[in-house]
Amino acid sequence: MSGLRDGRVAAQFGNGIVRDRAHLIITNKYKSSSKDVMSSPPRKFKARITESVELSPTVLGIAFKPIDFHDFTFEAGQFVMLSLPDEAGNENKRAFSIASPPHEAPEFRLCIKIHPGGKVSSHIGSVPVGGLVEFHGPFGKFVLRKPLDKETLFVAGGTGIAPLYSMIADLIYTKAQTDVTLFFSFREPYDYIYAKNIEQMTEKHSNFKVYTTLTSQTVHPEEWCGSRGRICEILMHIIKSPHDKSVYICGPKEFIDASKETLVQIGLPLEKIFVEPW
Ligand SMILES: Cc1cc2nc3c(=O)[nH]c(=O)nc-3n(C[C@H](O)[C@H](O)[C@H](O)COP(=O)(O)OP(=O)(O)OC[C@H]3O[C@@H](n4cnc5c(N)ncnc54)[C@H](O)[C@@H]3O)c2cc1C
């Protein structure tokens, strides 16, 4: 049962999805593995697209299987550099956070927001399932800090959910001793990507709660009955004490700055706040 639906706070900040949307549903392909996950040293590799689904009208969820890097591993929160050639044959490289948990490696998933005119994001959708693309990685230090605190908080803005989803799924898979709370801000109801998986995780794991908020002012109440407005109000309302917590924030820079400022106001020390701006 998600903490969202408990009592007054649940009514105020609940998951507001009113209509079920098939494109929000992705399958969670947890493999059973007990190996200790370490990040492999970064290198160039090729990977085959094994699945491509619309997570929303503007976000693709793409699964990849490395074909020449069979021991590819990564830490939850890391990213890879995707290279795509343009019409002139120039390689364009962009960073994408791995959205799947490490125990699924060597396979991994990305969620890519399509920017019309973007050199990489607007072209990846035209690579068919079965097609090959080139990566370099894994990279990044935006990873879970051990030992874990009593509470681990995640603050996601839009597709900034990607590395945080990987971290949350990793904490749940490894049965980590920490209470996990996700604060997820998005513009439209369909931007609540991974909704079904997130809701299922909150139902199965009593130590995982999620609070969502919608920022678009124009969405009809029939489409969204949950919380609306800025992430800062929810953070301020829900986080009762600054103690024994680490916070991981990912999203656009302004979103990160605003969230961080609120957390500092609440009293969280800066050294407990970790960020990945895009
Ligand atoms: C560590 C890290 C992790 C990241 N992880 C993710 C992730 O998981 N998912 C994700 O979606 N993104 C992620 N990003 C962002 C990603 O790397 C790219 O910046 C993003 O996809 C845009 O790249 P692009 O090639 O599509 O656009 P670019 O070609 O770089 O263009 C940038 C912007 O300009 C606009 N633009 C480009 N050409 C035109 C034009 N002709 N006219 C008007 N506007 C134009 C595009 O719409 C776009 O908004 C991450 C970034 C970092 C640094």
Instruction: Tell me, yes or no, whether 189 and 120 share the same domain.
Output: no
The string of DSSP letters for 84-142 reads: EE-TTS-EEEEEEEB-S-GGGTTSEEEEEE--TT-TTHHHHTTSPTT-EEEEEEEE-S-
Is 37 inside a domain boundary?
Answer: no
Q: Residue 16: its pLDDT value, please?
A: 47
**Domains held by the chain: number:** 2
Give the residues of the chain that fall short of pLDDT 70.
1-37
Instruction: Tell me, yes or no, whether 272 and 180 share the same domain.
Output: yes
Instruction: Tell me, yes or no, whether 125 and 203 share the same domain.
Output: no
Is 233 inside a domain boundary?
Answer: yes
Q: Residue 51: its pLDDT value, please?
A: 98
Instruction: Tell me, yes or no, whether 77 and 197 share the same domain.
Output: no
Q: Residue 153: its pLDDT value, please?
A: 98
Instruction: Tell me, yes or no, whether 214 and 130 share the same domain.
Output: no
Cα distance between residue 95 and residue 193, in whole Å:
19
Is 36 inside a domain boundary?
Answer: no
- Which domain, by its residues, includes 81? 43-139
Is 23 inside a domain boundary?
Answer: yes
Q: Are strands 91-97 and 151-157 parallel, antiparallel or unpaired?
A: unpaired
Whether the CB of 79 sits within 6 Å of ligand 1: yes
CA of 93 to the centre of ligand 1 (A): 10
Instruction: Tell me, yes or no, whether 171 and 218 share the same domain.
Output: yes
Instruction: Tell me, yes or no, whether 147 and 273 share the same domain.
Output: yes
Which CATH number is 97's domain given? 2.40.30.10
Instruction: Tell me, yes or no, whether 161 and 125 share the same domain.
Output: no
Cα distance between residue 164 and residue 168, in whole Å:
6
Instruction: Tell me, yes or no, whether 119 and 188 share the same domain.
Output: no
CA of 276 to the centre of ligand 1 (A): 15
Q: Residue 37: its pLDDT value, please?
A: 60
- CB count within 10 Å of CB 141 equals 10
Whether the CB of 48 sits within 6 Å of ligand 1: no
CA-nearest residue, atom 1 of ligand 1 = 95
Question: Of 95, 110, 139, which residue constitutes the final position of a domain?
Answer: 139
Cα distance between residue 18 and residue 66, in whole Å:
38
Give the residues across from 212 on adjacent strands: 184
Whether the CB of 83 sits within 6 Å of ligand 1: no
CA of 121 to the centre of ligand 1 (A): 6
Question: Of 90, 106, 139, which residue constitutes the final position of a domain?
Answer: 139
Q: What is the pLDDT of residues 12-63, one digit of tens each?
A: 334 444 433 322 232 232 233 334 468 899 999 999 999 999 999 999 999 9
Is 35 inside a domain boundary?
Answer: no
Instruction: Tell me, yes or no, whether 237 and 119 share the same domain.
Output: no
Question: Of 121, 139, 157, which residue constitutes the final position of a domain?
Answer: 139
pTM, to two decimals = 0.88
Instruction: Tell me, yes or no, whether 167 and 71 share the same domain.
Output: no
Q: What is the pLDDT of residues 75-91, one digit of tens each?
A: 999 999 999 998 888 99
Q: Are strands 59-66 and 108-113 parallel, antiparallel or unpaired?
A: antiparallel
Instruction: Tell me, yes or no, whether 160 and 183 share the same domain.
Output: yes
Is 38 inside a domain boundary?
Answer: no
CA of 107 to the centre of ligand 1 (A): 23
- CB count within 10 Å of CB 127 equals 15
Which CATH number is 158's domain given? 3.40.50.80
